[in-house]
Structure 1
Amino acid sequence: MESYVKLTVLDQVGQIEFFHPNKNAMPSDVLQNLEQTIVEAGKNDNVKVIILQSSGDRTFCAGASFNELMTIKDAETGMRFFSGFANVINAMRECPKPIIGRVQGKTVGGGVGLAAATDYCLATQYASIKLSELSIGIGPFVIEPAVSRKIGKMAMSQMTIDAETFYSAQWAKEKGLYAEVFETLEELDLAVTTLAKKLSSYNPEALTEMKHVFWEGTSHWNTLLSERAGISGKLVLSKFTKKTLKRFRKD
């Protein structure tokens, strides 16, 4: 199966779904398509609320595509790749519509950043999280502002340093990443659908104004996340990272 990002609009709810055959990893083309689709949904007058989800049952997002990271030969290309995550997070932040996250399974690295950049995130008990970047020689620089904003600097630091541990969905809820955690996928989908339906019936002007309040104090993120992408873009060229990535490469 080939990767995709698609937008489905039904009853004023825009459902954005992404997929990649390697555990919903994020290469540059998927990141670019996801950014554009979020912008498109934000401008669509038929959409009042957005659901962000991935395909499959047990993996929400595996983060950056290791295959693509292996091909990066210079800092400019590295910065361009990591800017893909920055652009998606900023598109979510600047989107005038509320974004509900539906996290059905494990999520790693950049995927945690996506979950953190939603306005309200729901998950299943299988939606454990991990920030593995330090273990491969880089760091969660681009997603840090979004993650720290949701779970706090101390919890962010804990996950970053303990880079090879998955933290449970319940832990993520206690720290503020998830609003609710459900036992089954069916319960998650019912909750997401119910919430989206309620929000779509509310005053869209009020929703937009509240979105501005939610993201108050983040107007500098366009510059900040770009700078962070530059840091990751340089570190991915290190011998340590290149050697480590070879162990994880998926053909």
Structure 2
Amino acid sequence: MEFENILTENNDGILQITIDRPKKLNALNRDTIEELHQAFAEAKEDEAVKVVILTGSGEKAFVAGADISEFSEFSAQEGRELAAEGQAKLFDFVAHFPKPVIAAINGFALGGGLELAMATHFRVASDNAKMGLPETSLGLIPGYGGTQRLPELVGKGRAMEMILTAGMIDANQALQYNLVNHVCEQEELIDFAEDFAGKIMKNSPVAVTAAIRAINANFEAGVNGFEVEKDEFGNSFSTQDFKEGTSAFLNKRKADFPGK
């Protein structure tokens, strides 16, 4: 599928998805959200894709927020529908994606951009990155999961401060807050993310997917994460990857996981 607002490139199992709206600082609009959904949906079914790296084009922004001009005249009901559609189509879809997703945050990650980064499984930031949820300065609150995911990552008090002050933090502060996993120099960002992806790809893709499901279960209302872990652990014993992994370990050789 050809896209207007994003670029995709698969390099040895690592799919890089680049949001490409540099004149708008890669701001999210409905068309971009739809294209991102389609790209992730295709990657989900593509056995050649093992890990996804999500980034923004240029050096200024990962995603500098949502495209405000698109919803400035919305009613309350239209606003709720916008949030519900975006969460289901992209943000929740990414959070529960069965393959690891790494956000490579270059420059500004604000509003919907930070919410998108928080929906991924890992966040790597360039040293010039700036992050924040400025919605309250516009008379709004975060609507793409920000009020839920930010406290999970940084704690309630820091999340309250970031959201209610609408302020920005830099990459090093984000690292201290556990909002990002790693910080590196800007010119090294994609290489760093690819190296990170390579470490994951050495392991069983079946086990990686099972671990994502088990970890996510702890943050789902009404779901007992320990029970999900037990189920996923037990299911692992019936996989070809388990047989290959244990055989390789016992025979002191490198595992060649079939991904089944």
How high is the TM-score relative to the length of structure 1?
0.80
**What's the C-alpha RMSD, in Å, of the aligned pairs?**
1.9
Residue 65 of structure 2 is aligned to residue 63 of structure 1: yes
Residue 166 of structure 2 is aligned to residue 191 of structure 1: no
| 1:7–1:15 contact (8 Å) kept in structure 2 | yes
Query: How far apart, in 2, do the equivalents of 1:158 and 1:135 lie?
Result: 13
Query: How far apart, in 1, do the equivalents of 2:93 and 2:197 lie?
Result: 20
Structure 2 residue runs of 5 or longer lacking an equivalent are 223-260
Q: AA paired with 2:86?
A: F
The equivalent position to 1:158 in structure 2, one of 137, 158, 161, is 161
| 2:128–2:186 contact (8 Å) kept in structure 1 | no
Partner of 1:144: 147
Report the 3-state secondary structure (helix = DSSP H, G, I; strand = E; otherwise coil) of the residue aligned with 2:128: coil
Q: AA paired with 1:203?
A: S
Query: How far apart, in 2, do the equivalents of 1:83 and 1:3 lie?
Result: 24
Among the aligned pairs, what percent are the same residue?
27
Report the 3-state secondary structure (helix = DSSP H, G, I; strand = E; otherwise coil) of the residue aligned with 2:24: coil
Partner of 2:123: 121
Report the 3-state secondary structure (helix = DSSP H, G, I; strand = E; otherwise coil) of the residue aligned with 1:36: helix
| 1:170–1:181 contact (8 Å) kept in structure 2 | yes
- Cα deviation 1:42-92 (Å, max 9, x = unaligned): 2211111111111111211111111102242x3333223223431211111
- CA apart distance, 1:169: 1.0
Q: AA paired with 2:215?
A: F
- CA apart distance, 1:23: 0.8
C-alpha change, 1:208 and 1:175, in structure 2 (3 Å) is same
- CA apart distance, 1:144: 1.7
The equivalent position to 1:110 in structure 2, one of 106, 109, 112, is 112
Partner of 1:50: 52
Relative contact order higher in (CA < 8 Å, ≥ 6 apart): 1
Q: AA paired with 2:146?
A: I
- Cα deviation 1:180-224 (Å, max 9, x = unaligned): 111x22222221111112222321011101111221234459xxx
Structure 1 residue runs of 5 or longer lacking an equivalent are 222-251
- CA apart distance, 1:12: 1.0
Q: How many residue pairs get matched?
A: 217
Q: AA paired with 1:212?
A: R
Report the 3-state secondary structure (helix = DSSP H, G, I; strand = E; otherwise coil) of the residue aligned with 2:72: helix
Query: How far apart, in 2, do the equivalents of 1:62 and 1:101 lie?
Result: 14
Report the 3-state secondary structure (helix = DSSP H, G, I; strand = E; otherwise coil) of the residue aligned with 1:70: coil
C-alpha change, 1:85 and 1:175, in structure 2 (3 Å) is farther
C-alpha change, 1:156 and 1:149, in structure 2 (3 Å) is same
Partner of 2:250: none
Q: Select the structure of larger CA radius of gyration.
A: 2
Query: How far apart, in 2, do the equivalents of 1:45 and 1:220 lie?
Result: 31
Report the 3-state secondary structure (helix = DSSP H, G, I; strand = E; otherwise coil) of the residue aligned with 1:17: strand
- Cα deviation 1:82-108 (Å, max 9, x = unaligned): 234312111112210011110011111
| 1:31–1:84 contact (8 Å) kept in structure 2 | no
